[in-house]
Amino acid sequence: MGGFSRLVAASLLLAVAAGGVSSFALAQQQAKAPEEKPEDYPDGPNRLDTFTYCTGCHGFKVVAAQGQSRERWNDTLDFMVTRHKMIDPPAELRGQILDYLAEAFPERRQPGGWKNPFQ
């Protein structure tokens, strides 16, 4: 195989490989995570308002993965307002959001610290 033939073969091989990579990248872009719905989370008063407010910036799974006291949820909202420039909800809405979060995603730690499960 001459130099020109090798160059053509190498170019063809690169083109095929690049086409495979871009096809894979396109398939990855088209695959979407399942859409979150308020109904996916614990029922309770203010679920829809809380879901709507929180998902304006991030997925609700970020919220659902946490368990905090009402005070800690309030601190979290303060942090997001201060650090991430989230719009501070009006007092009544903030109270409703905190009610839902504290009820649906309460603090998970047991009082008294860690307990050995083998005792």
- Our measurement of the distance from residue 70's CA atom to the centroid of its chain's CA atoms, rounded to an integer in Å, reads 21
CA 61, CA 37: separation in Å to the nearest integer?
10
Assigned superfamily of 38-104: Cytochrome c-like domain (1.10.760.10)
Per-residue pLDDT of the chain (119 residues; tens, 9 = 90+): 566 566 555 555 555 555 554 555 555 556 666 799 999 999 999 999 999 999 999 999 999 999 999 999 999 999 999 999 999 999 999 999 999 999 999 998 766 666 766 76
Domain boundaries, the chain: 1-31, 38-104
Whether residue 98 contacts residue 90, with contact meaning beta carbons closer than 8 Å, is answered with no
Whether residue 67 contacts residue 110, with contact meaning beta carbons closer than 8 Å, is answered with no
